[in-house]
Amino acid sequence: MNVISTVVGYPYIGPKREWKRTIERFWKKELTEHEFEAELKQLRIDRLKHQQDLGLEYITVGDFTKYDRMLDLAVMFNLIPKRYDVLENPTKNELYYAMARGAKDVVACEMTKWFNTNYHYIVPEYEGQKLTLQRNDILDQFLEARNEVGIYAKPTIIGPYTFVDLAKGYDENEKALFILQLIPLYAQVINELTEAGAEWIQIEEPSFTKNLPIEEIQLIEEIYKQLCKLTPHAKLLVQTYFESLFAYERLIQLPVDGFGLDFVHDNKQNLKSIQKFGFPKNKTLSIGVINGRDIWSVNFAEAVSIINSVKQLTNIENIWISSSCSLQHVPVSKNMEEKLPKELFDHLAFADEKIREIAHITHFMQKGSWLKEGLVANSMKVIQALATHPVRQNKRVEKALANLTPMDFKRSVSYKERQQIQKEALKLPDFPTTTIGSFPQSTEVKKTRSAWRKGEISDAQYAQFLKEETARWIQIQEEIGLDVLVHGEFERTDMVEYFGEHLTGFAFTDFGWVVSYGSRCVKPPIIYGDVEWTHPMTVKEVVEAQKLTDKYVKGMLTGPVTILNWSFVRNDLSREKVALQIGYALRQEVEALEKAGIKIIQVDEPALREGLPLRKENWADYLRWAVDAFKLTTSNVAPDIQIHTHMCYCEFNDFIEPIKSLDADVISLETSRSHGELIHSLKENPYELGIGLGVYDIHSPRVPSVEEMLTILQESLAVIPKEQFWINPDCGLKTRQESETVASLKNMVAAALVLRKQVVSI
């Protein structure tokens, strides 16, 4: 048997986010196009050599991007919306980043979640364009690896079915035309790679793991029949991940040379399918046995057991030992982490450590012996050391959750009753304006926080700075004319990290960065123990802000499911139990805010939907405990306390019932890049609670006009009753500049004032 080590993909950000800094310097015009391309090339070469040094046998190319790989393909295939014609002679990079981020006179493409991860991709827009291959960028990366490093790599490309499945703009009548144009382009890319010496081409088809109706299965079969016919000399491996292969018995027979299957997140279904239907002996199987989405070291005995089971059931000639998905979802290396508890550090494996694990397992499968003596025993030792540590034995938390009753998950009166009580108590105007919570984290804010953490300024000096910055922004908000204010969150580096720093059971890395979208990187906390509330986390800052104004200042919390989904979570407890621990902890913070006199409390759940399992038959169980965790947080307040929440990228049609069941008094939705779709959804599915549709895109630096936002508000008024209508940006403003933030909010308030006059005059 031939056994080879590989990964689906490797992080492109660099161990110290070198990639992010290069891109942002280019955006600031600190680099010329030539300098920019040269720096990116060096980053690509360095990461190839590094993977080689780690012992990886089959290295992947095509997993590097300047912003997003779906956007890469859209530009590569000339899938460029007509609105970008207004750009005057843009360079390739200027056009690319206009689609990603917007430009002065044109809005960006829509951005949404990559399956059930915290990564966001740019949504390709089909407008009937004639598709052509502009440049084979994947070939460029292959040739670069071959010529500069001497590596004959495995090129990877997002597959045609997944690309179309995640694109927008076409109806069913156009879909066949869209695909027919794409297949020859994919074939051209593949044939050019084959001619250049690529032995295998990896085609990523994560959409093969979703629920697929029979007509979609037939479509996939036809796509690959045509593609393989056009690429007779290529060896294609279809790579799936995040779930088990759907319709295994049919799709495994596609006329390709290999399949990559996820044996980590498949609920053991891939192995069951192999047991039931077998695996074609003439195909290569890439066994995704190392978890590409978490940071825990592998149990070597379990991994080898899975591989041996596959071997016994298939008798295939060629296997690859691989990650379950791309390693872009984990940090690069744990080697720079110096402050983590030993029992935690020993049990961690980031991308580099996972490659070493793959190399160890591959050697064992090849030679029948381990590279290091005692490797398996040590893996069990570090797992057991953390499992028995006191951080996972908190009896107070265990007792509190055991004593919960159904009444702990329910508001004392219905929404309609609360709506009237809150109307009389709060006395807000029609169409109240507010923001989602955060304001720009300026260079001064970041420098001051850094100085405080380094001990260069005292606690008192830092507290005074935060107080002054909050006061300044309270005044700015009053001058703008917002109705409900926020304190700005200047004390918070990240909406999850901040709360983790104040709760037990969390740990934090110094360099554990992963990409969220574009150049935006986040450092997910590690939930490794029981979560407990020990002291107020937000009360002081909000109360101080409230003293500065007669308007209401919202208390701002991150919700339990978002904290869960945006963290690396312990793998010895169910996610449901961890979510309830967080929900109970946050419940005590909500009670503290209420006791301090805060009347409007926002508990954000932007990640609620992204946690949905890919298979719809598994949705109900997830939504049951996810909604319960939110309601546990928010249900113990008096009826006059108005509970808000916020969500991102929410496909409303298939998610309206869970949103309603949260029973939040007001929800704000991130909709600016897909506003028309949501209006259509609301026509079909009226929403009975308070709602604010984001009226401008905070991911873009452009300032929308009053008229632009007023149009959105007028369209929204057709589906949202005046009594339920709130006006807000579509997300927090932390990443924006102060000047554009103030200008955009002034226009938003001006649009709201026009709307109020128009409605009164009707």
Place of tokens 């304001």: 439
The answer to whether 513 is a known ligand-binding residue is no
* Beta-sheet strands, E only, within 636-677: 642-647, 666-669
- In sequence order, which residues have a C-beta less than 8 Å from that of residue 84 and are 6 or more positions away? 90, 95, 98, 99, 106
The answer to whether 594 is a known ligand-binding residue is no
Torsion of CA 158, 159, 161, 163, to 10 degrees: 30
Within 10 angstroms of residue 24's Cβ, the number of other Cβ atoms is: 14
The answer to whether 684 is a known ligand-binding residue is no
Measured distance CA(29)–CA(686) in Å, rounded = 46
Tell me if 724 sits within 8 A of 690, measured CB to CB: yes
The answer to whether 437 is a known ligand-binding residue is yes
The answer to whether 489 is a known ligand-binding residue is yes
The answer to whether 436 is a known ligand-binding residue is yes
The answer to whether 34 is a known ligand-binding residue is no
Within 10 angstroms of residue 280's Cβ, the number of other Cβ atoms is: 17
Measured distance CA(600)–CA(593) in Å, rounded = 9
H helices present in 167-320, as ranges: 172-195, 214-230, 248-251, 269-277, 300-314
Catalytic status, residue 699: yes
How many Cα neighbours within 13 Å face the side chain of 52? Answer: 13
Tell me if 648 sits within 8 A of 629, measured CB to CB: no
Burial of 743: CB neighbours in 10 Å, binned 0-12, 13-18, 19+: middle
Retrieve residue 231's tokens: 């690429």
Measured distance CA(655)–CA(664) in Å, rounded = 15
Measured distance CA(521)–CA(518) in Å, rounded = 8
Helix (H), strand (E) at residue 109 = none
Measured distance CA(463)–CA(471) in Å, rounded = 12
Distance (Å) of CA 92 to CA 69, 97, 104, 134: 15, 9, 17, 10
The answer to whether 221 is a known ligand-binding residue is no
Q: How big, in percent rounded to 5, are the helix, strand and coil portions of the chain?
A: 50, 15, 40
The answer to whether 520 is a known ligand-binding residue is yes
Place of tokens 């004390």: 491
Q: What pairs with residue 522 in β-bridges?
A: 514
The answer to whether 456 is a known ligand-binding residue is no
The answer to whether 670 is a known ligand-binding residue is yes
Instruction: Give the active site residue among 265, 363, 675, 699.
Output: 699
The answer to whether 361 is a known ligand-binding residue is no
Distance (Å) of CA 99 to CA 160, 539, 700: 21, 40, 10
The answer to whether 739 is a known ligand-binding residue is no
The answer to whether 19 is a known ligand-binding residue is yes
The alpha carbon dihedral of 672, 677, 683, 689 has a sign of: negative
Nearest-10 crossing angle of helices 738-761, 459-480: 40
Angle at 168 between CA 192 and CA 220, to 5 degrees: 55
Q: What pairs with residue 521 in β-bridges?
A: 515
Q: Which amino acid is at 430?
A: D
The answer to whether 715 is a known ligand-binding residue is no
DSSP SS3 for 711? helix
Tell me if 119 sits within 8 A of 516, measured CB to CB: yes
The answer to whether 45 is a known ligand-binding residue is no
Nearest to 358 by CA among 392, 324, 408, 333: 324
The answer to whether 610 is a known ligand-binding residue is yes
Annotated binding site for L-homocysteine: 436-438, 489, 604
Annotated binding site for 5-methyltetrahydropteroyltri-L-glutamate: 17-20, 113, 118, 520-521, 566, 610
Annotated binding site for L-methionine: 436-438, 489, 604
Annotated binding site for Zn(2+): 646, 648, 670, 731
Annotated binding site: 17-20, 113, 118, 436-438, 489, 520-521, 566, 604, 610, 646, 648, 670, 731
Q: Which residues are catalytic?
A: 699
